A and B are shown apart, each in its own frame.
Chain A
Amino acid sequence: KNEVEQSPQNLTAQEGEFITINCSYSVGISALHWLQQHPGGGIVSLFMLSSGKKKHGRLIATINIQEKHSSLHITASHPRDSAVYICAGAFLGNEKLTFGTGTRLTIIP
């Protein structure tokens, strides 16, 4: 069964802290997606990766295929980073995405 699990479910941190959100998946994937859902509800795709690491501004996404694990890191966190972060896997042989339940991140000024 294709499953995606995220941890932690909720994360509160002080402004400036380094943030790590974890995602593990059950079987082989063709791609792993990270998305951000703003407090207003809109969903934005942050990264799609199948190996290695990607960086965009203060956000870094990594994936370890052997360990079936991905992490999303935020450096120098800011209150505007407060959102729900969702990982999703595109499993091999299945082009549809399976989503994790999300990590609610709150950055306190």
Chain B
Amino acid sequence: DAEITQSPRHKITETGRQVTLACHQTWNHNNMFWYRQDLGHGLRLIHYSYGVQDTNKGEVSDGYSVSRSNTEDLPLTLESAASSQTSVYFCASSDNTDTQYFGPGTRLTVL
């Protein structure tokens, strides 16, 4: 069965370290998204991609980067982790029908 996976599911890191969160989908979807979820806020878009070599900034992109070298993967990198980036991160993918399929989430703690 097609699916979308994220790894790791939990991560603890220190401020200033570089962290990469993986997202992998087997639906062959062109569109992929990264969100963060914090108490008191809805899901907020960090970065998104509409296809290979395409990446775009979302509303909370500062301190994050993505790259899209193939259809299946959209890794999210925190260049220099900050405590404000402690959050739960969700990856999602969609085809042109717009329904988004979400990964299980990664809980990141920055100490």
Contacts and interface: CB of A to CB of B under 8 A. Distances in A.
Interface of A: 4, 31, 33, 35, 41-45, 48, 86, 88, 90, 95-102
Given A41-B105, A42-B105, A101-B40, A48 B45 contact: no
A45 B88 contact: no
Contact of B104 (A41, A101, A102): A41
A18 to B, nearest CB: 26
B16 interface: no
A97 B100 contact: yes
B27 to A, nearest CB: 13
A41 B41 contact: no
A24 to B, nearest CB: 14
Main secondary structure of the interface of A (DSSP, over half): strand
A42 B42 contact: no
A86 B99 contact: no
A24 B71 CA distance: 34
12 contacts: A4-B42, A33-B99, A35-B102, A41-B105, A42-B104, A42-B105, A43-B105, A95-B98, A99-B42, A99-B44, A101-B40, A102-B42
Contact of A96 (B41, B42, B45): B45
B43 interface: yes
Given A41-B105, A42-B104, A42-B105, A99 B43 contact: yes
Contacts of B35: 99
A4 B35 CA distance: 16
A38 B33 CA distance: 20
